[in-house]
Amino acid sequence: MNLTAGVTAAAAGITALDTVGYLDMVVRGRPASDVPAEAADEVAGRAGIDLGHGEEGDSRRTGLGALLGYTAGLGVGVLYGLLPGGRRPALPLAALGLSLAAMAASDIPLAAAGVTDPRRWDAASWVSDLLPHLAYGLTTAVVYDRLTRPGRRRGRR
């Protein structure tokens, strides 16, 4: 178990996910998704919290939506770090597993809340969701491996 490595690796993975997502916006000229803000609105509403109206409310929804995404990504890293046993799956399998876990951690609650319906997504929507999560999984797996590989001392290659 290595909670610190899991959180650290997930933070790097979140950075990779955001980078790929923003690059997609730049390359294809697509707007930012409204889904995180809608999820924030749903979560706040269920908790009995009024996020407000106008620009201030929109800013709260945007911020809370991003924080919900970070929570999902960090949560996946925490769970990965807490897996028992000293051996992890091979890097490609770990990367794929972490990618799928991160997608599930974000998409299943959104679908369950009725914020989105992946069954209705077109191919471009699936690619926009899949590629950033693959970047998350690969980065998280590589960083975790580098942080926990036995016999490696810092600063040596």
Give the pLDDT confidence of 99-125 residue by residue, as tens digits.
999 999 999 998 988 888 999 999 988
Kindly state whether residue 21 falls inside one of the protein's structural domains: yes
If one counts the domains in the chain, the total is 1
Please state the φ and ψ torsions of residue 133, each to the nearest 5 degrees. Answer: -70, -35
**Would you say residue 14 has pLDDT above 90?**
yes
Kindly state whether residue 154 falls inside one of the protein's structural domains: no
Which ranges in 113-148 belong to alpha helices (H)? Answer: 123-148
Kindly state whether residue 111 falls inside one of the protein's structural domains: yes
**Would you say residue 47 has pLDDT above 70?**
yes
- How far is the C-alpha of 92 from the C-alpha of 76, rounded, in Å? 17
Q: Which two tokens stand for residue 66?
A: 């991003």
Tally the residues of the chain: 157
Structural domain boundaries, residue 95: 3-33+64-148
- How far is the C-alpha of 140 from the C-alpha of 5, rounded, in Å? 10
Host H or E run for residue 70: helix 54-82
**Would you say residue 157 has pLDDT above 90?**
no
Q: What is the pLDDT of residue 1?
A: 65
CB 6 within 8 A of CB 146: no
Q: What is the pLDDT of residue 43?
A: 87
Q: What is the pLDDT of residue 103?
A: 95
| Number of neighbours of residue 57 by Cβ within 10 angstroms | 15
**Would you say residue 29 has pLDDT above 90?**
yes
Kindly state whether residue 20 falls inside one of the protein's structural domains: yes
Q: Which two tokens stand for residue 68?
A: 């919900």
CB 141 within 8 A of CB 9: yes
